[in-house]
């Protein structure tokens, strides 16, 4: 689904230039949920924006479904951390979710049907007529996820999507991602600074070095299904993986 080869990105020029990414390569299989973690400021969001075609990397290449990324691919959706800025406050929840569907070959009636189906899938079946300001932060982020799901992307990118909500809501949204991923079987790349979260939701966890970022660890997560917030986090394999990811993030050890 996703191939990244020798990706490099530098902000600015000369002595003040900031090298964010250096020779980063990785691949993501169709239907996989990949979590990317690393030290603060290591270039995680730069990587995601490069995949999304929002910035042009200095070097290397990115391919989605075999096609070289030169601009935002039509088969891709992004869920950002700041849900309050990604939703249009003057539009109803249903209209926010249906908005990207204007790029699809759908009439107005069908767009509304698809938007309603997406809202139902994230537990907001009765919220379509409301406006974003009438919803809690967690519910607004569910709307953002519903908008991405309604578009039916081949690849969904999530940039620290739960960083602005409380702990309980965060756990609920983690479970929501697992649920919708299982239902839609879409490929997801999730950027997070939360080590526990990366192990809980991911099929794989890729760990980046401090800037300029390169891959220092690529760990397969093989935990029993279905996952839940209590028993999964108590599982010995979860505890072991969390420790391994933590060591890599802190530069203490490497995984063979």
> Domains in the chain, ordered, with CATH?
1-75+154-256 (3.40.50.300), 81-152 (no CATH)
For residues 36-54, one letter each, b for 16 or more C-beta atoms within 10 angstroms of the residue's C-beta and e for the rest, the string is bbbbeebbbbbbbbbbbbe
pLDDT, tens only, 125-146: 999 999 999 999 889 988 998 9
Strand pairing class (2-11; 18-28): antiparallel
Low-confidence ranges of the chain (pLDDT < 50): 253-256
pLDDT at 73: 86
Edge-to-edge strand ranges of the sheet holding 187-191? 76-79, 155-159, 187-191, 33-37, 204-208, 215-220
pLDDT score recorded for residue 15: 82
CA distances from residue 94 to 43, 142, 146 in whole angstroms, order as listed: 34, 12, 10
> What pLDDT does residue 164 have?
72
Contact indicator for 119, 93 with CB cutoff of 8 Å: yes
């Amino acid at each position: 689904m996703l191939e990244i080869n020798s990706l490099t990105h530098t902000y600015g020029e000369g002595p003040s230039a900031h090298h964010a990414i250096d020779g980063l390569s990785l691949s993501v299989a169709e239907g996989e949920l990949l979590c990317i973690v690393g030290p603060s400021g290591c270039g995680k969001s730069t990587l995601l924006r490069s995949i999304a075609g929002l910035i042009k990397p200095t070097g290397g290449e990115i391919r989605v479904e075999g096609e070289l990324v030169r601009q935002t691919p039509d088969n891709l959706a992004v869920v950002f951390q700041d849900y309050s800025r990604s939703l249009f406050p003057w539009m109803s929840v249903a209209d926010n979710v249906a908005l990207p569907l204007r790029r699809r070959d759908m009439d107005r009636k069908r767009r509304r049907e698809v938007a309603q189906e997406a809202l139902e899938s994230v537990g907001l079946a009765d919220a379509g007529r409301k406006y974003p300001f009438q919803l809690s932060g967690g519910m607004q982020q569910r709307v953002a996820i519903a908008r991405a799901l309604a578009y039916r992307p081949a690849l969904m990118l999530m940039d620290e999507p739960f960083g602005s909500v409380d702990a309980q809501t965060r756990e609920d949204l983690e479970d929501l991602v697992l649920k919708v991923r299982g239902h839609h079987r879409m490929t997801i790349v999730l950027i997070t600074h939360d080590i526990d979260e990366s192990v809980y939701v991911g099929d794989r966890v890729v760990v980046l070095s401090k800037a300029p970022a390169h891959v220092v660890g690529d760990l397969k997560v093989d935990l029993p299904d279905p996952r839940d917030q209590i028993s999964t986090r108590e599982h010995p394999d979860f505890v072991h993986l969390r420790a391994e990811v933590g060591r890599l993030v802190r530069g203490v050890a490497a995984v063979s």
